[in-house]
Homo-oligomer: A and B are copies of this chain.
């Protein structure tokens, strides 16, 4: 399933509940930021090594998947109301990153 299909699902969900007026870009930025805060809270006291093993704990794993989903849902809605093609924007950024950070030994960059 693609991000486009997810955006469609979210658009229909919001329309059926008349939530459109709340979904200004400004509000959606804040909602996404709040969800990232919840992800942060799951990891704040873990050491890096503990964070790498976080999915071994079933309760924590479910919470992490749930909060990452929330970040994606608001990011997709935000991009949708703004008309940003997220996949294209991400690949454009990677093109620039590949130029900016050449591979070690790559003299053609």
Is A84 within 8 A of B64, CB to CB? Answer: yes
Q: How many copies does the complex hold?
A: 4
Give the docked Cα–Cα distance between A84 and B65 (Å). Answer: 6
SS class, residues of chain A in contact with chain B: helix
Most chain B CB within 10 A, of A24, A54, A66, is at: A24
A98's closest neighbor in chain B, by CB? B13
Q: Does A58 have its Cβ within 8 Å of any Cβ on chain B? A: no
Tell me whether A75 and B75 are in contact in the complex, defined as CB-CB below 8 angstroms, given that A24-B48, A44-B30 are known contacts.
yes
**Chain B contacts for A33, CB-based, 8 A:** 30, 33, 36-37, 39-40, 44
Give the docked Cα–Cα distance between A32 and B35 (Å). Answer: 11
Q: How far is the CB of A8 from chain B (nearest CB, A)?
A: 11
